[in-house]
Amino acid sequence: MKVSEAIAERRAVKHFDAHHQMSDDEFKHMMQLAMQSPTSFNIQNWRFVRVVDSAKREKIKAAAWDQAQVTDASALLIICADVKAWDKDPARYWKNAPQETAELMVSMTGPFYEGREWLQRDEAMRSVGIAAQTLMLLAKEMGYDSCPMIGFDQEVVSEVINLPKDHAIGMMLAIGKEAKAPHPRGGSIDFDEAVITDNF
């Protein structure tokens, strides 16, 4: 499947075949590619929590307006980020780079994020968003569909997954086999409202 086809055909699917199981090989393949998603300073701050335990899925569903995707998806990911990844031994993010590049990047990372909590949080959400889109397009290629989700109680889900204090939840992503096609797309805003040349 071409990337352009995956983009055009991806939809937020709400009904999945609850009986379909994603194999471990498929899951690993998907996640290894997701981990190629770019992050600023290569800090790889995404953390993907795969929820397999059915009791946990039920708790999350109850905290997510009972949305069926939560329990019916073949893979349910809570895509989180380590907000402090920039400060956790950043040399490991450059272990394969030429020494000069590694030293330069590591020396720039701390000063860029230090004391700028808003930027650390922005970075977390940027990385989560990019990784989520990578996963959604990849899911299409693999014969799956997906639903990005933020309609849930973050406090409850944080508790269910035991989210560390210095991490944040970006979104949930349900991936599964479509059981019912979604409604036609909601509608697009005008091209010129979205695409601006030079300045607003």
Ligand X SMILES: Cc1cc2nc3c(=O)[nH]c(=O)nc-3n(C[C@H](O)[C@H](O)[C@H](O)COP(=O)(O)O)c2cc1C
User: Which spans of this chain sit near ligand X (rule: CB under 6 A)?
Assistant: 11-12, 14, 67, 147-151, 171, 182, 185-186
Shortest CB 110 distance to ligand X, Å: 30
Which amino acid, 49?
A: V
Q: From the CB of 4, what's the least distance to ligand X, in Å?
A: 15
| Residue 33 C-alpha from the chain's centroid | 12
- 177: Cβ contacts below 8 Å, ≥ 6 apart: 16, 17, 20, 74, 143, 144, 145
- Smallest gap from Cβ 171 to ligand X, in A, equals 5
Minimum CB separation of residue 154 from ligand X in Å reads 12
- CB nearer to ligand X: give 67 or 74: 67
DSSP 48: E
> Least CB distance from residue 52 to ligand X, whole Å?
20
Measured at CB, which residue is nearest to ligand X?
Answer: 151
What is the Rg, in whole angstroms, of the alpha carbon atoms belonging to the chain?
Answer: 18
Q: CA angle, 61 as apex, 60 and 62 as ends, to 5°?
A: 90
For residue 196, the minimal CB distance to ligand X (Å) is: 21
Nearer to ligand X, 29 or 180 (CB): 180
Alpha-carbon gap, residue 197 to 178, rounded angstroms: 38
CA dihedral 56, 33, 165, 155 (to 10 degrees): -40
CA separation for the pair 61, 11 (Å, rounded)? 21
Residue among 12 and 142 whose Cβ is closer to ligand X? 12
Of 65 and 112, the one with the shorter C-beta distance to ligand X is: 65
Q: What angle do CA 182, 185, 187 make, to 5 degrees?
A: 155
Which CB, 113 or 139, lies closer to ligand X?
A: 139
Residue bearing tokens 């204090």: 165
Query: Judged by CB, which is closer to ligand X: 14, or 167?
Result: 14
